Amino acid sequence: MIEKKQAVQQEERAVIVGLITKEQTERQVQEYLDELVFLAETAGAPIIKRFTQKMARPDRATFVGKGKLEEIRDFTIGRNITLVIFDDELSGSQIANIEKVLNIKVIDRSDLILDIFARRARTAQAKVQVELAQYQYILPRLKGMWSHLERQGGGIGSRGPGETEIETDRRIIKDKIGLLRKRLAEIDKQSLTQRKDRGEYIRVALVGYTNVGKSTIMNMLSKSEVFAENKLFATLDTTTRKVVFDQTPFLLSDTVGFIRKLPHHLVESFKSTLDEVRESDILLHVVDISHPQYEDQVEVVNRTLNELKAFDKPTIMIFNKMDLYEQNTFDKWLADDIKQDILTQMKTNWEGRSQGNCVFISALEKKNIDELRKTIMDKVMNLYRERYPYKSEYFY
Ligand SMILES: Nc1nc2c(ncn2[C@@H]2O[C@H](COP(=O)(O)OP(=O)(O)OP(=O)(O)O)[C@@H](O)[C@H]2O)c(=O)[nH]1
Ligand SMILES: [Mg+2]
């Protein structure tokens, strides 16, 4: 039986591969690859080289062309490289075919993300959710998984698995998926009861792309100690704290970050963790404005919120890391009034796009935090008034 294994071993030297198709510019692909490098580093694999190829569409058998595969193989030989990571999802037979040429382990972006999630999962709920997504991912790729094993175990001439072996595995994995679904449903029932106990409080959820500073803002606003670090997916579990601003209490939740090309199964199985987002009254959409692709990231987050049916909520956009943004955007010699003009232009643009529901802060340097608190409080108070119009006091 196939065992679920970590996709990346510690300090495994790797190369990455991206395809430049008709729909994407070369620059976009390089940016996707930047992110893939960050993901790989988060999983503990330094990237030695990146390969790209221009093709109208992926090759059905080997994803990239034969020539490119040979180029990758020649590069990996003698350099102690044990892993190749593709930026797009590969099918089971593609994995098997590519491994046959390269003779080292082949994984894709989804595999890598699942791997990071598996390492980060702490609670029973997160663990079951990740395991479920992993098995769902493996199921259609059993052939590829077998080729991993074959390469590791068998020497020259060892036979591949027969169809019956793959079929047996398929059945075992399907049973496992059924079992995990059941366990998840039980856990969900418990957390639903917990959420119901929260009564009349307005619920506010921090959402956003991964690594934008959600947990840092959570810590700052609630003085809690939520794990925050410069790695992707530092947070997997939803944390909720009661926060009181000026005697107005509300519940604030920190949630798992989103990323582009998030494996579909992962979104599916994390639905229950993301219930906190779906059931919240107000969203705080945190954006890392210092990131060169922050606008794309906003798009990805909006699309994912849509998928979760959580898009039509009162939302405040929090543009975080203004300190880094200013550092990256402004040359030292630039006159102050020009800097101000650029800042004003950027802010006016976003104020228009968010109908005035935005704040620009640095959570790290604690800049503009009073305005952030006031903006959140105004929204929370408005909702209390709407919901409980006859109460003179909104506090417990
Ligand atoms: N320069 C700067 N760095 C910041 C700021 N806010 C957060 N960071 C850093 O950004 C990194 C990510 O912060 P987190 O709070 O873990 O981000 P997150 O959105 O919770 O990330 P995930 O849980 O991984 O999705 C950390 O290294 C923070 O110290 C800021 O205002 N300026
Ligand atoms: Mg976090």
Q: What pLDDT does residue 157 have?
A: 38
**pLDDT (0 to 100) of residue 234:** 72
What pLDDT is stored for residue 154 in this prediction? 40
Q: Which of 81, 26, 89 is nearest to 49 (CA)?
A: 81
Fold type of domain 14-115: Rossmann fold (3.40.50)
Cα 241–chain centre separation: 22
228 ligand 1 Cβ < 6 A? yes
CA of 376 to the centre of ligand 1 (A): 20
Where in the chain are the domains?
A: 14-115, 121-147+163-197, 198-395
Cβ pair 79, 48 in contact under 8 A: yes
Backbone torsions φ then ψ of 21, nearest 5 degrees: -100, -175
CA 182 to each of CA 114, 118, 241, 264: distance values in angstroms, whole numbers, following the listed order:
21, 19, 29, 20
Closest CA to 21 of 71, 87, 83: 87
Ligand 1 site, residue 232, Cβ cutoff 6 A:
yes
| Matching fold, domains 14-115 and 198-395 | yes
Atom of ligand 1 nearest to the CA of 235: 23
- Helix or strand holding residue 252 (H, E): strand 248-254
Say what the pLDDT of residue 144 is.
Answer: 63
239: β partners: 254
- pLDDT value at position 155? 38
pLDDT tens digit sequence for 346-392:
999 999 999 999 999 999 999 999 999 999 999 999 998 888 877 65
What's phi and psi for 221, nearest 5 deg?
A: -80, -30
Sign of CA dihedral 112, 115, 120, 125: positive
pLDDT at site 149: 56
Given the CA of residue 286, which atom of ligand 1 is nearest to it? 19
Strands (E), 6-94: 14-20, 47-54, 83-86
pLDDT (0 to 100) of residue 202: 92
Residues of the chain with pLDDT under 70: 1-5, 143-163, 195-199, 224-227, 272, 391-396
pLDDT at site 364: 96
Which residues have C-beta under 5 Å from ligand 2, the single-atom ion?
Answer: 214-215, 234-235
pLDDT of 310: 86
What is the number of the ligand 1 atom nearest to the C-alpha of 231?
A: 24
With a 6 A CB cut-off, is 299 part of the ligand 1 pocket?
no
CATH of domain 198-395: 3.40.50.300
Q: Check: CB of residue 209 under 8 Å from CB of residue 257.
A: yes
Rounded to an integer, what distance in angstroms lies between the CA atom of residue 224 and that of residue 253?
Answer: 11
Q: Give me the pLDDT at residue 159, please.
A: 47
Ligand 1 site, residue 234, Cβ cutoff 6 A:
yes
**DSSP reduced 3-state for 362:** strand
* Full-model pTM: 0.85
Residue with CA at minimum distance from ligand 1 atom 32 = 321
Q: For residue 230, report the distance from its CA to the centre of ligand 1, in Å.
A: 6
- Report residue 20: phi and psi, to 5°: -100, 100
In contact, 30 and 47? CB cutoff 8 Å: no
Q: Encoding tokens for residue 372?
A: 């952030």
Among the bound ligands, name the one nearest to the CA of residue 369: 1
| Residue 56, token pair as written in the block | 């109208």
- 181 dihedral zone (left: phi>0; alpha: psi -120 to 50; beta): alpha
